[in-house]
A and B are shown apart, each in its own frame.
Chain A
Amino acid sequence: MNFDWQYFLKALIQLPEYIPVTLIMAIFAMILAIVIGVIITVFQLSPFWILRRFAHFYISFFRGMPTLVQLFLIYYGLPQLFPSLRGIPAIIAAIVGLGFKESSYLSEIFRAGFNSVDEGQIEAGKALNISKITLFWHIVLPQATLNALPATGNTFVSLLKETSLAFTLGLTELFGEGKMLAGESFKYFETYLAVGILYWILIIIYTWLQSLLEKELLKPYRRDLNEPDRSEGPVS
């Protein structure tokens, strides 16, 4: 087997230098996706049909188009229509493109999160004369956020991997650097394996952090993690 272990290890040591670019892109795109995702969710749940229609169109448009096409539209296409956007940094274009794309998925996840809060609690709140906004902020939102957390985490995992498409805009991130190394050395397998393993490690770390967060946040709600007091105490 013609596998150059030495080169593989060298790539594995050299490539992490580009992890910060990948992470910056993923984190900022995720923040943007969450902000837009929340707005689109609010539109989806709005009583106004025009906002619901717009949300439906937005989700359909951004989910239906390949990520690469969206990145090209933003980076190469928009400056043609708006010359002031000429020279926009590739990393900004990538963050915006990925953020818009993932927001369409997130808004569906958030909507499911809101719908999973049972109607009974909302009805109890209404019966107690709690205003809709207070009810949303203190009761619905915290529960919807928890319910949406696992799927939101999966979106971040996808996003992290999709940042590799940013090399097509000329940005040197983890995959882009790997591509260059492979081109110079012709050691394609070793280089791309190192790149793949680094993405994998990032995702393992993220998944572990998310599971810790989920465990901590869900602790109060889980009967098996608490000692339920099933005794029916005295009634005075």
Chain B
Amino acid sequence: MSLIEVKDLSVNIGKKKILKHINLNIEEGTVTALVGPSGSGKTTLLRTLNLLQIPTAGSLKVGTTTAIAGKIDTKTIHDLRQNSAMVFQQFNLFKNLTALENVANPLIYTNLANKKEAHKTALKILKKIGLEEVITQYPATLSGGQQQRVSIARAVAVRPRVILFDEPTSALDPELVESVLQTIAGLAKENITMILVTHEMDFARQIADEAVFIENGEVLSKGPAKELLSGRTSPRIDSFINSLKRSAFA
């Protein structure tokens, strides 16, 4: 049985149709890359999976919680978000908390652990990703790469069934990208279910099991990542990958 089931999902923002009749199944323990041109609806789809964006039509199921458009109440949102965590493009760390508190406090705030347990869990995760040196530092004093890794640690700490990554490296300087990608690759090895919006095609090919190509709010193609992202399956995907390569060398 799939961990995530998206059925005929549509999202309108104002009068604009951002997502149109999306159907998607994601298996537990897999990594799925959402790729496509800017403005295609990838981020909206990711945000809808966490109900940060409420769907206009269709339904989605994450774990045992089903959200049906038009019938989504605060309980559904709460239940669904218990299954997922999100890593944002701009890190979105809590600026008034240290790195350790950023990871530990959400556990305390949501009654997932007491203070002692939360700090122990946070320390363990931060150590694992090589951030034990900065645990007492505030986000403003960390590099972009470190901030994003703390944000990944924060997502991991709540033990979600799926982690949603929204272009986790696009706000980083090129020299800081690698460390974040290595952290994500480390999670992939642990069979944590991940959905990743990214423009890092080589990385997506490397770690993703499945890939979904989205354009104009529709799923244009989906399939095994290595195959789909090779560009050989569709001229449109090939031209998209080539455009990314060109912009990288520009």
**Which B residues are in CB contact (< 8 Å) with A233?**
130-131, 133, 179
A80 at the interface (CB under 8 A from B): no
Q: Tell me which of A134, A146, A223 contacts B109 (CB under 8 A).
A: A134
Contact B110 A130 (CB under 8 A): yes
Q: Which residue of B lies closest to A129 (CB)?
A: B81
B88 at the interface (CB under 8 A from A): yes
Chain A positions 103-128 with a Cβ under 8 Å from a chain B Cβ: 118, 120-121, 123-128
A185 to chain B, nearest CB (A): 54
Contact B179 A221 (CB under 8 A): no
A210 at the interface (CB under 8 A from B): no
Contact mask for chain A residues 162-192; partner B; CB cutoff 8 A; 1 contact, 0 none: 0000000000000000000000000000000
**Which B residues are in CB contact (< 8 Å) with A134?**
109
On whether A126 and B182 interact (CB within 8 A), knowing A134-B109, A235-B129, the answer reads: no
Contact A220 B138 (CB under 8 A): yes
CA distance A21 to B94 in the complex (A): 42
Q: Which residue of A lies closest to B89 (CB)?
A: A120
Q: Which of A11-19, A51-59, A70-78, A136-144 contacts B (4 or more CB under 8 A)?
A: A136-144
Q: Tell me which of A120, A138, A143 contacts B88 (CB under 8 A).
A: A120
On whether A129 and B93 interact (CB within 8 A), knowing A134-B109, A236-B186, the answer reads: no
Contact A124 B93 (CB under 8 A): yes
On whether A129 and B82 interact (CB within 8 A), knowing A120-B92, A236-B128, the answer reads: yes
A contact residues, range: 20 to 34
On whether A143 and B95 interact (CB within 8 A), knowing A120-B88, A123-B52, the answer reads: yes
B106 at the interface (CB under 8 A from A): yes
CA distance A59 to B209 in the complex (A): 58
Contact A124 B140 (CB under 8 A): no
**Which B residues are in CB contact (< 8 Å) with A127?**
50, 52, 81, 84-86
On whether A124 and B143 interact (CB within 8 A), knowing A129-B82, A235-B179, the answer reads: no
On whether A235 and B81 interact (CB within 8 A), knowing A121-B94, A228-B143, A229-B134, the answer reads: no
A47 at the interface (CB under 8 A from B): no
Contact B141 A235 (CB under 8 A): no
Contact B138 A234 (CB under 8 A): no
Q: Tell me which of A126, A135, A139, A232 contacts B146 (CB under 8 A).
A: A232
B145 at the interface (CB under 8 A from A): yes
Contact mask for chain B residues 147-190; partner A; CB cutoff 8 A; 1 contact, 0 none: 00001001000100000000000000000101100110010000
**Which B residues are in CB contact (< 8 Å) with A135?**
109
**Which B residues are in CB contact (< 8 Å) with A235?**
129-130, 179, 182-183, 186
CA distance A126 to B183 in the complex (A): 24
A146 to chain B, nearest CB (A): 8
Q: Tell me which of A128, A142, A220, A226 contacts B110 (CB under 8 A).
A: A128
Q: Which residue of A lies closest to B86 (CB)?
A: A127
Q: Tell me which of A138, A139, A232 contacts B143 (CB under 8 A).
A: A232
B241 to chain A, nearest CB (A): 27
- With A123-B52, A127-B81, A236-B186 given, can you name 19 additional A-B contacts, CB distance below 8 Å? A123-B92, A124-B151, A124-B154, A128-B81, A128-B86, A139-B96, A221-B140, A227-B141, A228-B137, A229-B141, A229-B143, A232-B130, A232-B146, A232-B178, A232-B179, A233-B130, A234-B130, A235-B182, A235-B183
